[in-house]
Amino acid sequence: MILIRKQVNIHILLPLLSSSIANDRTTQDPPRYALSDQRRQQLLQDARTSRTKWVEGEDTQPPSTSSYFQASTLSSDSHNSIKTIVNELQAFVDTLKGLKYEIIPDLTISDRPSSSFITLSAEVKAHQVEIAAYQQLHQSSSSPTSTPHQWLANRQQNETRFLVAYQDFITVLKLPSVAEIVYQIQLFVTRFEQWNLAQMTACHSQLDRPGYQLQQWLEKTSQQLLHVVSLKKVVIAFPQISHSFQDAVLIQDVMESFVMERVYQHALVCSPDAAEADTHLFNRLSTLQFISFEHLDLPVPTTDAIVSEWQQLSEDLKLLTAFVSPVRKMDCVLRICHALTQLLTRVNGKSPSADEFLPGLIYILLHANPPHLKSTVQFILEYRRASGLVSETGYFFTHLVSSVAFLEQVNVELLSITTTAFEEGLERCKQTVQVDRKKEEVVEEIDNERRVMMMPTVLDIRNRRRQQWQ
């Protein structure tokens, strides 16, 4: 009897308990913190600003700092003091970065600043005249049945077309409707920087290599971007981008360049062994600077103008490492090889054959001696789209690879030179390299002393702050 009563009581109490719990949930207090409309709009604007700066390649600062100072009750003197402290801390951090390269001299290019790199944004700014002329010509020659390929006349227009497509690509990425694609690109860049490239590039399986994974991701993401642009009717708002986004391969190449610019310092020299191989090749070419035209069976220049042309080609080839995207590196090779072909044609009176062209490219490459040459070749082979390594561009790039291989193993038997002259030239160049290194060490030591003398002391900073508060 007691057991039955207990069961009845439990069955009666259960509905009451559940109803009370439901009432507690419905009458739960609202969250103590809720964003105001003004704060929500401010955060959205900060997110757009941060995304735009990242797309443009600028260093993003903490987004809400300035707006917080403006909305706070701090006085103007406090604002100025905070800005002064921030500037002093930034100067201090920059000084520490400079000291890092002096304390650790064997840093690879991945640890070096990128001020000497030629980015696509910088190229777009430098070629605004050509871009404007291209766009005007394209608008005047456009028709419903025409394609972007039909009226391209030469290589220079192809390069300008690529820069125009990159400019249109940046314009699209700044739009709020494409924010999801930008976040996907940022996520991939972050993941790429965490890859162990030394291990991945040593894999024999193509599926595990970074270049294959990059191209697979590019193909998928570029198609998503084209779909978003078509779905959101971006072309209607920005009709000038319509011709660039008609070519899916061009957009994939532009996205490839955009991504590789952001991971270039991590991807170019992927391991200490690669850095050591670059240094070894650079030092070897430095000791072979005595090799001249007659040693490679090239016609000796008869005028100073022809000598200047050879020297200019070597100077242009030094920029091979400065270009940070595989496409622009290939364009650099193509541009130099075209100029070399024209030079040899004028000198020989006929178009050069492969056996005549290769020694000329070897001479230019030897006297250019660009840094990280071997890593640059591997960088192009790994990350450039496979179909971009064929046709005329691939033909000239194959000659560049052959030239590097020749210079890695060149000896007296492969040159038109006697053994005595080869050894004397080798010794002479080694001595020149040693003298140049001593000069660089002296100049670096003087710069270090000047930098230390220019650094403010703690007392200087204190006096400066006291003067500001007064």
Structural domains of the chain in order of their starting residue, each with its CATH number: 110-267 (no CATH), 272-445 (1.20.1050.80)
Neighbours of 339 (CB within 10 A): 15
Sequence-ordered list of residues with C-beta below 8 angstroms from that of 331, at least 6 positions apart, any chain: 159, 162, 323
Residues in the chain: 470
| Closest among 355, 366, 354, 352 to 406, alpha carbons compared | 366
Give residue 29's pLDDT band: very low, low, confident or very high (50, 70, 90): low
pLDDT in tens, 321-367: 999 999 999 999 999 999 999 999 999 989 999 889 999 999 999 99
pLDDT in tens, 114-140: 447 888 999 999 999 988 888 887 765
- Our measurement of the distance from residue 380's CA atom to the centroid of its chain's CA atoms, rounded to an integer in Å, reads 13
Q: Which residues of 275-304 are buried (b: 16+ CB within 10 A; e: fewer)?
A: bebbeebeeebbbbbbbeeebbebeeeeee
Helices 179-193 & 37-55 angle (0-180, nearest 10): 60
Output the pLDDT for position 408. 94
Output the pLDDT for position 31. 54
Instruction: Determine contact, residues 327/394, Cβ cutoff 8 Å.
Output: no
436's tokens: 């140049």
Output the pLDDT for position 96. 67
Distance CA 314, CA 284 (A): 17
Whether the pLDDT of residue 142 is over 70: the answer is no
DSSP 16-62: HHHHHHHHHHHTPPPPS----HHHHHHHHHHHHHHHHHHHTTPPPPP
Helices 373-383 & 210-231 angle (0-180, nearest 10): 50
| Closest among 311, 333, 303 to 320, alpha carbons compared | 333
Instruction: Determine contact, residues 343/335, Cβ cutoff 8 Å.
Output: no
Distance CA 331, CA 309 (A): 19
pLDDT in tens, 144-192: 444 444 434 567 788 899 999 999 999 999 988 889 999 999 999 999 9
3-state secondary structure of 302: coil
Residue in this structure with the two tokens 């080839």, named with its chain if needed: 317
